[in-house]
Amino acid sequence: GSSLEPQEHSMEPPAAPPEEEEEEEEMPLTAAPGPAGCQLFGYVGIEAVLDQMKIKTMKMGFEFNIMVVGQSGLGKSTMVNTLFKSKVSRKASQPGQEERIPKTVQLQSVTHVIEEKGVKMKLTVTDTPGFGDQINNENCWDPIIKYINEQYERYLREEILITRKRKIPDTRVHVCVYFIPPTGHWLRPLDLEFMRRLSKIVNVVPVIAKADSLTLEERTEFKQRIQEDLKAHAISVYPQEDFDQDPDDRALNDRIREKIPFAVVGADQEHQVNGKRVLGRKTKWGIIEVENPAHCEFALLRDLLIRSHLQDLKDITHNVHYESYRVRRLNESNGP
CB–CB of 107/171 below 8 Å?
Answer: no
Is the pLDDT reported for residue 335 higher than 80?
no
In a domain, 40, yes or no: no
Using only the alpha carbons of the chain, give its radius of gyration: 26
Bridge partners, 175 (sequence order): 66
Per-residue confidence (pLDDT) for residue 10, from 0 to 100: 46
Give a yes or no: residue 120 inside a domain: yes
The pLDDT value recorded for residue 126 is 93
How many domains does the chain divide into?
1
Alpha-carbon distance values, 90 to 36, 68, 85, 165 (Å): 59, 12, 14, 30
What amino acid is encoded at 218 in this protein? E
Q: Which of 200, 235, 205, 238 is nearest to 325 (CA)?
A: 200
Question: Of 65, 71, 296, nearest to 176 (Cα)?
Answer: 65
In a domain, 137, yes or no: yes
From CA 302, how far away is CA 308, in angstroms rounded? 9
Average pLDDT over every residue of 12-22: 48
pLDDT tens, 131-186? 888 878 888 899 999 999 999 999 999 999 988 888 899 999 999 999 999 988 88
- CA torsion angle for 210, 216, 220, 222 (degrees, to 10)? -40
Residue 133 domain-assigned?
Answer: yes
Tens of pLDDT, residue by residue over 37-81, are 577 788 888 888 988 888 888 878 889 999 999 988 888 988 898
pLDDT for 29: 46
Residue 23 within a domain = no
Query: pLDDT of 299-323, one tens digit each?
Result: 999 999 999 899 999 999 999 999 9
What is the pLDDT averaged over residues 244-268?
88
21, pLDDT greater than 70 = no
- Mean predicted lDDT score pLDDT of the chain: 83
Within-domain flag for 248: yes
Q: Which residue has the higher pLDDT, 103 or 285?
A: 285
Does residue 24 belong to any structural domain of this protein?
Answer: no
Per residue in 209-248, pLDDT (tens digit) is 999 889 889 999 999 999 999 999 999 999 998 888 888 8
Q: What is the pTM of this model?
A: 0.81
The residue segments making up the domain with residue 231 are: 49-89+103-266+295-334
CATH number for the domain spanning 232: value is 3.40.50.300
pLDDT value of residue 35: 52
For residue range 89-130, list pLDDT tens digits in order.
Answer: 765 444 454 445 565 677 888 898 888 888 888 999 999 887
Q: Is-cis flag, bond preceding 102, omega within 30?
A: no
Greater confidence (11 vs 185) lies with 185
96 assigned to some structural domain: no
| Residue of 179, 241, 173 whose CA lies nearest to 201 | 173
